[in-house]
């Protein structure tokens, strides 16, 4: 009398690409038992999984069962920290945004609304700047930065002429 070997699986796990996504998947390579397998994922689609642990059952043609689970992971959420330096004088272009990206999957690419593809924004005039950061898995982080400048210096003047030639009773006032 011979019996089939124990059922076993070799899962091929694909973790979620972007934090909060649902593109994780599992493909099971099933061995042992008697071929003609039925996979039961308790209502989950093994090709559209979020992060978590999933139990499954394999039932072969003879009704023998195998129970196991797999864990799907995800990268840490992309996040940004920044230091904005505003323009010192009205009309200058010495503003900047120094950013630091964490999470996601390295490496990162940058696209600023002014056309720059550098990590940091430099020599910027005052205004609103939009940044798109894309990681190696094509996960996207959007952020907005505002660089300001002081108001322009406005000079107003008023004068009173001297009352007579040679007199020093004239005035000039600047605001």
Could you count the other beta carbons within 10 Å of the beta carbon of residue 109? 12
**Torsion angle, alpha carbons of 111, 115, 118, 122, to 10:** -130
Rg (CA), the chain: 34
What is the reported pLDDT for 39? 97
- pLDDT, greater one: 160 or 51: 51
What is the reported pLDDT for 54? 98
What is the reported pLDDT for 75? 96
Which one, of 72, 75, 56, 70, lies nearest residue 24 by Cα?
Answer: 72
Cα 90 from Cα 86, distance rounded (Å): 10
Read off the pLDDT band of 168 (50, 70, 90).
confident
Cα 167 from Cα 159, distance rounded (Å): 15
Residue 80 has pLDDT above 90, yes or no: yes
Task: Compute the Cα dihedral for 21, 27, 33, 39 and give only its sign.
Answer: positive
What is the reported pLDDT for 175? 86
Query: pLDDT (tens digit, 9 = 90+) per residue, 90-123?
Result: 999 999 999 999 999 999 999 999 999 999 999 9
Could you count the other beta carbons within 10 Å of the beta carbon of residue 86? 15
What is the reported pLDDT for 22? 97
What is the reported pLDDT for 41? 97
Read off the pLDDT band of 1 (50, 70, 90).
confident
Query: What mean pLDDT, rounded, does the chain reach?
Result: 95
């Amino acid at each position: 009398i011979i019996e089939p070997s124990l059922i076993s699986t070799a899962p091929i796990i694909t973790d979620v690409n972007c934090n909060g996504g649902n593109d994780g998947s599992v493909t099971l390579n099933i061995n042992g038992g008697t071929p003609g397998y039925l996979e039961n994922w308790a209502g989950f689609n093994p090709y559209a999984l979020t992060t978590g642990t999933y139990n499954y059952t394999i039932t072969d043609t003879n009704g023998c069962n195998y129970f196991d689970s797999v864990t799907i992971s995800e990268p840490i959420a992309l996040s940004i920290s920044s230091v904005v330096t505003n323009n010192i004088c009205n009309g200058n272009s010495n503003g900047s945004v120094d950013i630091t990206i964490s999470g996601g999957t390295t490496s990162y690419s940058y696209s600023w609304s002014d056309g720059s593809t550098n990590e940091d924004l430099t020599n910027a005039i005052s205004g609103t700047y939009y940044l798109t950061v894309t990681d190696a898995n094509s996960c996207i982080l959007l952020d907005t930065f505002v660089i300001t400048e002081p108001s322009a210096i406005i000079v107003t003047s008023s004068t009173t002429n001297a009352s007579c030639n040679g007199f020093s009773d004239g005035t000039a006032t600047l605001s």
